[in-house]
Protein backbone atom coordinates (compact mmCIF):
# COMPACT_ATOMS: atom_id res chain seq x y z
CA UNK A 1 0.00 0.00 0.00
CA UNK A 2 2.80 2.43 0.93
CA UNK A 3 4.67 1.60 -2.28
CA UNK A 4 1.56 2.24 -4.41
CA UNK A 5 0.94 5.50 -2.58
CA UNK A 6 4.53 6.65 -3.16
CA UNK A 7 4.27 5.90 -6.88
CA UNK A 8 0.96 7.73 -7.12
CA UNK A 9 2.48 10.85 -5.55
CA UNK A 10 5.65 10.77 -7.63
CA UNK A 11 6.52 13.28 -10.35
CA UNK A 12 7.81 12.38 -13.81
CA UNK A 13 9.39 15.26 -15.71
CA UNK A 14 11.67 15.44 -18.73
CA UNK A 15 11.48 19.12 -19.65
CA UNK A 16 12.75 21.92 -17.39
CA UNK A 17 13.22 19.36 -14.65
CA UNK A 18 15.78 21.60 -12.90
CA UNK A 19 12.97 24.09 -12.27
CA UNK A 20 11.50 21.58 -9.85
CA UNK A 21 14.74 20.03 -8.60
CA UNK A 22 16.28 23.38 -7.64
CA UNK A 23 13.02 25.21 -6.97
CA UNK A 24 14.04 26.22 -3.44
CA UNK A 25 17.24 26.92 -1.54
CA UNK A 26 16.31 24.09 0.82
CA UNK A 27 16.46 21.59 -2.06
CA UNK A 28 20.04 22.60 -2.82
CA UNK A 29 20.97 22.49 0.88
CA UNK A 30 19.72 18.89 1.08
CA UNK A 31 21.61 17.91 -2.08
CA UNK A 32 24.84 19.43 -0.76
CA UNK A 33 24.48 17.57 2.53
CA UNK A 34 23.93 14.24 0.78
CA UNK A 35 26.56 14.46 -1.95
CA UNK A 36 29.13 12.48 0.08
CA UNK A 37 26.73 10.44 2.20
CA UNK A 38 27.03 7.04 0.56
CA UNK A 39 25.44 5.33 3.58
CA UNK A 40 22.66 7.88 3.83
CA UNK A 41 21.52 10.13 6.65
CA UNK A 42 18.65 10.13 9.06
CA UNK A 43 16.15 12.95 8.70
CA UNK A 44 17.42 14.58 11.89
CA UNK A 45 21.07 14.44 10.80
CA UNK A 46 20.19 15.64 7.31
CA UNK A 47 18.38 18.67 8.69
CA UNK A 48 21.40 19.48 10.88
CA UNK A 49 23.93 19.06 8.06
CA UNK A 50 21.79 21.10 5.66
CA UNK A 51 21.22 23.89 8.19
CA UNK A 52 17.45 23.56 7.95
CA UNK A 53 14.58 23.24 10.39
CA UNK A 54 13.06 19.78 10.52
CA UNK A 55 9.92 21.08 8.81
CA UNK A 56 11.83 22.74 5.95
CA UNK A 57 14.02 19.67 5.51
CA UNK A 58 11.01 17.38 5.44
CA UNK A 59 9.34 19.49 2.73
CA UNK A 60 12.50 19.50 0.60
CA UNK A 61 13.07 15.77 1.04
CA UNK A 62 9.46 14.97 0.16
CA UNK A 63 9.68 16.99 -3.04
CA UNK A 64 13.02 15.53 -4.10
CA UNK A 65 11.81 12.03 -3.31
CA UNK A 66 8.79 12.54 -5.55
CA UNK A 67 11.19 13.54 -8.33
CA UNK A 68 13.17 10.31 -7.64
CA UNK A 69 16.27 12.39 -6.91
CA UNK A 70 16.35 10.98 -3.36
CA UNK A 71 15.68 7.51 -2.03
CA UNK A 72 14.19 6.76 1.38
CA UNK A 73 15.06 3.64 3.34
CA UNK A 74 13.09 2.69 6.41
CA UNK A 75 14.58 0.96 9.41
CA UNK A 76 11.94 0.59 12.07
CA UNK A 77 10.75 4.09 12.88
CA UNK A 78 13.88 5.72 11.42
CA UNK A 79 14.12 6.94 7.83
CA UNK A 80 17.43 7.23 5.99
CA UNK A 81 17.94 9.25 2.83
CA UNK A 82 20.44 8.90 0.01
CA UNK A 83 20.83 10.36 -3.45
CA UNK A 84 19.48 8.11 -6.17
CA UNK A 85 22.69 7.30 -8.04
CA UNK A 86 20.74 5.45 -10.70
CA UNK A 87 19.07 8.69 -11.80
CA UNK A 88 20.76 10.28 -14.81
CA UNK A 89 20.14 13.81 -13.55
CA UNK A 90 21.95 12.99 -10.31
CA UNK A 91 25.02 11.44 -11.91
CA UNK A 92 25.32 13.65 -14.99
CA UNK A 93 24.18 17.03 -13.71
CA UNK A 94 23.71 17.45 -9.96
CA UNK A 95 26.82 15.70 -8.66
CA UNK A 96 29.13 17.34 -11.26
CA UNK A 97 27.55 20.71 -10.45
CA UNK A 98 28.09 20.24 -6.71
CA UNK A 99 31.67 19.10 -7.36
CA UNK A 100 32.31 22.22 -9.46
CA UNK A 101 30.89 24.37 -6.67
CA UNK A 102 33.20 22.69 -4.17
CA UNK A 103 36.22 23.42 -6.41
CA UNK A 104 35.21 27.03 -7.07
CA UNK A 105 36.85 28.67 -4.03
CA UNK A 106 40.02 26.50 -4.12
CA UNK A 107 40.41 27.39 -7.80
CA UNK A 108 40.07 31.08 -6.95
CA UNK A 109 42.78 30.73 -4.28
CA UNK A 110 44.99 28.84 -6.71
CA UNK A 111 44.82 31.62 -9.30
CA UNK A 112 45.43 34.28 -6.62
CA UNK A 113 48.43 32.34 -5.36
CA UNK A 114 49.90 31.95 -8.84
CA UNK A 115 49.52 35.65 -9.61
CA UNK A 116 50.96 37.13 -6.41
CA UNK A 117 53.18 34.62 -4.63
CA UNK A 118 56.43 35.72 -6.33
CA UNK A 119 55.92 39.42 -5.65
CA UNK A 120 54.65 39.25 -2.06
CA UNK A 121 55.63 37.88 1.32
CA UNK A 122 52.05 36.83 1.94
CA UNK A 123 48.57 37.03 0.51
CA UNK A 124 45.79 36.99 3.11
CA UNK A 125 42.08 36.73 2.55
CA UNK A 126 39.99 38.50 5.19
CA UNK A 127 36.54 39.95 5.73
CA UNK A 128 33.25 38.29 4.88
CA UNK A 129 34.67 35.80 2.37
CA UNK A 130 37.23 34.56 4.90
CA UNK A 131 34.43 34.18 7.46
CA UNK A 132 32.22 32.41 4.87
CA UNK A 133 29.58 35.08 5.38
CA UNK A 134 29.74 36.85 2.01
CA UNK A 135 26.71 37.82 -0.02
CA UNK A 136 26.28 38.59 -3.70
CA UNK A 137 27.41 42.20 -3.25
CA UNK A 138 30.51 41.46 -1.16
CA UNK A 139 34.00 42.39 -2.27
CA UNK A 140 36.92 40.01 -1.84
CA UNK A 141 39.19 41.63 0.74
CA UNK A 142 42.84 40.79 0.11
CA UNK A 143 45.82 41.89 2.15
CA UNK A 144 49.07 41.84 0.18
CA UNK A 145 52.27 42.00 2.23
CA UNK A 146 55.46 43.16 0.51
CA UNK A 147 59.00 43.24 1.83
CA UNK A 148 59.90 46.87 1.07
CA UNK A 149 58.09 50.15 0.46
CA UNK A 150 59.51 50.35 -3.07
CA UNK A 151 57.79 47.06 -3.90
CA UNK A 152 54.35 48.53 -3.32
CA UNK A 153 53.89 50.33 -6.61
CA UNK A 154 54.51 47.29 -8.83
CA UNK A 155 52.22 45.09 -6.72
CA UNK A 156 49.51 47.77 -6.76
CA UNK A 157 49.68 47.81 -10.55
CA UNK A 158 49.50 44.01 -10.66
CA UNK A 159 46.49 44.01 -8.33
CA UNK A 160 44.73 46.64 -10.44
CA UNK A 161 45.36 44.64 -13.60
CA UNK A 162 44.14 41.46 -11.91
CA UNK A 163 40.76 42.96 -11.03
CA UNK A 164 39.04 42.45 -14.42
CA UNK A 165 40.56 38.98 -14.75
CA UNK A 166 39.09 37.74 -11.48
CA UNK A 167 35.75 39.35 -12.21
CA UNK A 168 35.62 37.58 -15.57
CA UNK A 169 36.68 34.19 -14.16
CA UNK A 170 34.89 34.20 -10.82
CA UNK A 171 32.54 37.20 -10.73
CA UNK A 172 34.71 38.45 -7.85
CA UNK A 173 35.45 42.09 -7.09
CA UNK A 174 38.90 42.34 -5.56
CA UNK A 175 39.49 44.89 -2.81
CA UNK A 176 43.24 44.71 -2.13
CA UNK A 177 45.16 46.58 0.54
CA UNK A 178 48.95 46.62 0.75
CA UNK A 179 51.34 46.78 3.67
CA UNK A 180 55.04 46.37 4.00
CA UNK A 181 56.07 43.73 6.52
CA UNK A 182 57.11 46.49 8.91
CA UNK A 183 53.79 48.34 8.60
CA UNK A 184 51.88 45.14 9.23
CA UNK A 185 53.91 44.30 12.35
CA UNK A 186 53.47 47.80 13.74
CA UNK A 187 49.69 47.76 13.31
CA UNK A 188 49.57 44.24 14.75
CA UNK A 189 51.49 45.40 17.83
CA UNK A 190 49.13 48.35 18.28
CA UNK A 191 46.06 46.19 17.53
CA UNK A 192 44.89 48.64 14.87
CA UNK A 193 42.35 47.94 12.13
CA UNK A 194 42.30 46.42 9.62
CA UNK A 195 45.28 44.37 10.78
CA UNK A 196 43.56 43.45 14.04
CA UNK A 197 40.68 42.01 12.01
CA UNK A 198 43.06 40.24 9.64
CA UNK A 199 44.81 38.57 12.58
CA UNK A 200 41.43 37.49 13.95
CA UNK A 201 39.88 35.85 10.90
CA UNK A 202 42.36 36.12 8.04
CA UNK A 203 43.12 33.10 5.86
CA UNK A 204 46.63 32.93 4.41
CA UNK A 205 46.47 31.96 0.74
CA UNK A 206 50.21 32.05 0.18
CA UNK A 207 53.41 33.00 1.96
CA UNK A 208 54.20 33.53 5.61
CA UNK A 209 51.79 32.67 8.41
CA UNK A 210 50.01 35.36 10.42
CA UNK A 211 52.19 34.51 13.41
CA UNK A 212 55.36 35.00 11.37
CA UNK A 213 54.09 38.29 9.93
CA UNK A 214 53.17 39.76 13.32
CA UNK A 215 56.29 38.56 15.12
CA UNK A 216 58.97 41.12 15.97
Of the pLDDT bands very low, low, confident and very high (cuts 50, 70, 90), residue 30 is very high
Q: What is the pLDDT of residue 71?
A: 95
Q: pLDDT above 90 covers what percent of the chain?
A: 88
* Structural domains of the chain, with CATH: 2-86 (1.10.10.10), 104-214 (3.30.460.10)
Distance CA 67, CA 49 (A): 21
For the cut 60, the answer to whether the pLDDT of residue 8 exceeds it is no
62-73: pLDDT as tens digits:
999 999 999 999
Q: Say if residue 34 is exposed, middle or buried (CB neighbours under 10 Å; 0-12, 13-18, 19+).
A: buried
198 touches 143 (CB < 8 A): yes
Distance CA 40, CA 43 (A): 10
Contacts of 27 (CB under 8 A, 6+ apart): 21, 60, 63, 64
Q: Of 125, 173, 178, which is closest to residue 152 (Cα–Cα)?
A: 178
For the cut 80, the answer to whether the pLDDT of residue 216 exceeds it is no
In 127-199, beta strands by DSSP E? 140-146, 174-180
Paired residues of 81 in beta bridges? 41, 72
Contacts of 55 (CB under 8 A, 6+ apart): none
What is the average per-residue pLDDT within 129-148? 96
Amino acid sequence: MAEKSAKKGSLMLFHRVLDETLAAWSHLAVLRALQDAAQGMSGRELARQAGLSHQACDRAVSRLEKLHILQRQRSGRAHFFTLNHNHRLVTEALLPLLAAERRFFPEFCKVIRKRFRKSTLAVILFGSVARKQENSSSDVDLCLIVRRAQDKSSVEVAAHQAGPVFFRLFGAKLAPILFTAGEFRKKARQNLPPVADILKDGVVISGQSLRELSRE
